[in-house]
Amino acid sequence: MTISNGNHTKWTPILTENSMNPHVKNVQYAVRGPIVQKATNYQELIAQGKGNELPFNEVIKANIGDCQAMLQKPISFLRQVLSACMYPELIGRHPAVFPKDVEKRANEVLDGLPGRSLGSYSESTGHLYCRKIVKEFIEKRDGYPSDVNNIILSNGASEIIKLTLLTATFGEGKDTTGVMIPIPQYPLYSATISEIGAVKVDYYLDEDNKWSLSIEELEKSYKKSFETCTPRVLCVINPGNPTGQVLNRKNIDEIIEFAATHKLVLMADEVYQDNVYDPESEFCSFKKALMESEHKDSLELVSFHSMSKGFMGECGIRGGYGEFVNFDENVMTELKKLKSAQLCSASSGQVALAIVLNPPKPGEESHVLFVKERDAILGTLKSKSVKVHDLFSRMPGMKVNPIMGAMYCFPRIELPQKAVDAAKKLGVAPDAFYVEKLLDQTGICVVAGSGFGQLPGTYHFRTTILPPEDKIESMLTKFEEFHRGFLEEFK
């Protein structure tokens, strides 16, 4: 756009902060926010040899659940099959490059792809071969039928979660779709709700009861929401992010009953289903619980899984799925149309997901190594979850629930009033003030609880349990020294 002013023509951009889509400006995503950018800047200084004046010699990014960035080794079978599919010329060589069962699986995968090529497009919902593997995984896990036509593969679970929320959003004013989300929550949900113009309906998890989901709180939130919107969707994260809780079966049944009673679409984020460390807890899928309820034919449920978490930790390969249960056929058609506008998710991610959901079987050449690697990863995560919990539970001015599952700890900090006042003077949230000082003094990067939502008047932070064992000890020691010093400074 140009504006003439005498002999001068001034150019002004069409898109400005005032003219751009206002929904975009409302999006917040603390997991990769300014504190994380500051940590990245510190990392670059150290890498360039310019960090001599910093009080630390490395940055430990405990802000995001990126397993392999924290040096978790990938599963050999997955990478071998994927490599063979990427470059089929490696199959059948003498001497052999891969074990026989790897070559067999790679050929099976390639036979299921157009042109036997990982570079081919798939159907918009995903390669039929891969969707069949997902179907069989769900049936084996739950003991109930699944249908490939109700499964959509995506670039990680995030993509299909966004498409589902977009499809479920309609109405204007108080009739606009309200989406009930847990607080604390994974900020993908609040960010997406802002992006698509839906209304966020908060319900608070019960911190004093291991972050359980209270039906009384759901009812309270549901009734209050009609002041601003019409609630149509209920989101549940199990195991929890950022809270690390695992819902018991009774709680899951109560949630299903609540959703059915109030005619809500139930979205179950179950990407951490392999990560359960508490010996008294057990993962139960919402699909299984629904099939064993009186609402098995009437409640609309979509559940999500991803290969980014669990023992796989393949965040960057981007493979996930959504299974839609009891959805109207016409809605499914529109959902698939929306997905087809993106053509398809990456074939490599689809195939990788199919490989990890169908691991080597007993008697196959790769089975022993697969079990050893899987159990070692989950065992290490369990060990680190205990260490992290034990440290924070003994620190003064800190309260923490057991880490039952997922990859996170979400401690509550009793911040001194002097620290709260100092933060407000700077115009930042008190827990953001705390985590920035932690980063500046130790190089440890965590995320302020305000980025996930929290009960007003409470302060938290989220840390992962992912740093390597040889680093997590020193990280925790530094953390404790900082925390005690912080309390002393602001007492």
Q: Are residues 338 and 390 in the same domain?
A: no
Check residue 19 and give its pLDDT. Answer: 63
Residue-level pLDDT at 300: 95
Q: Are residues 314 and 193 in the same domain?
A: yes
Instruction: Please indicate, yes or no, whether residues 322 and 173 belong to a single structural domain of this protein.
Output: yes
Say whether both 61 and 127 belong to one domain.
Answer: no
Residue 93 lies in a domain: no
* The predicted structure's pLDDT at residue 140: 97
pLDDT at 120: 85
Q: Are 82 and 352 in contact (CB under 8 A)?
A: yes
- The answer to whether residue 322 is domain-embedded is yes
Q: Report pLDDT for 109.
A: 92
Q: What is the mean pLDDT of residues 432-437?
A: 94
Of the pLDDT bands very low, low, confident and very high (cuts 50, 70, 90), residue 32 is low
Compute the average pLDDT of residues 418-437: 94
Q: Quick check: is 397 in a domain?
A: yes
Range of the domain at 328: 121-356
Instruction: State how many domains the chain has.
Output: 2
The structure's pTM equals: 0.89
Structure confidence at residue 8 (pLDDT):
63
The pLDDT of 11-38, averaged and rounded, is 67
Kindly report whether the peptide bond that precedes residue 242 is cis, defined as omega within 30 degrees of 0: yes
Segment among 229-233, 308-312, 329-333 with least mean pLDDT: 308-312
> Residue 85 domain-assigned?
no
Q: What is the CATH number of the domain that holds 462?
A: 3.90.1150.10
Boundary (domain end) residue, out of 308, 324, 356: 356
Residue with more model confidence, 316 or 26: 316
Q: Do 340 and 392 belong to one domain?
A: no
Last residue of a domain, one of 329, 356, 383: 356
Number of neighbouring beta carbons within 10 Å of residue 26: 14
Mean pLDDT of 116-145: 93
Share of the chain above pLDDT 90, in %: 66
* 406 in the same domain as 332: no
Sign of the dihedral defined by the CA atoms of residues 237, 238, 240, 241, in that order: negative
Question: Contact 80/98 with Cβ under 8 angstroms?
Answer: yes
Residue 10's pLDDT band, with cuts at 50, 70 and 90, is confident
Q: Which pLDDT value is given to residue 130?
A: 94
Strands 398-399 and 412-413: antiparallel
- Token readout for 257 is 């009953």
Same structural domain for residues 138 and 203? yes
Mean predicted confidence (pLDDT) in 457-463: 94
* Shared-domain flag, residues 457 and 325: no
Least confident range from 191-195, 283-287, 350-354, 438-442: namely: 191-195
Q: What is the mean pLDDT of residues 181-200?
A: 90
Q: Does one domain contain both 442 and 475?
A: yes
Instruction: Provide the pLDDT for residue 110.
Output: 92
Q: What is the reported pLDDT for 31? A: 52
The answer to the question of residue 287 being in a domain is yes
Q: 173 and 280: one domain?
A: yes
Whether 335 is covered by a domain: the verdict is yes
Do 189 and 333 lie in one domain? The reply is yes
Q: Same structural domain for residues 345 and 378?
A: no
Domain presence at residue 13: no
User: Residue 393: is its pLDDT beyond 60?
Assistant: yes
**What pLDDT, on a 0 to 100 scale, did the predictor assign at position 123?**
85
- Looking at residues 358-382, what average pLDDT do you find? 94
Provide the CATH number for the domain around residue 338: 3.40.640.10
* 351: in domain: yes
Range with the largest mean pLDDT of 10-14, 72-76, 201-205, 388-392: 201-205
Last residue of a domain, one of 330, 356, 382: 356
Cα-based torsion angle of the residue sequence 181, 385, 212, 299 in order, rounded to the nearest 10 degrees: 60
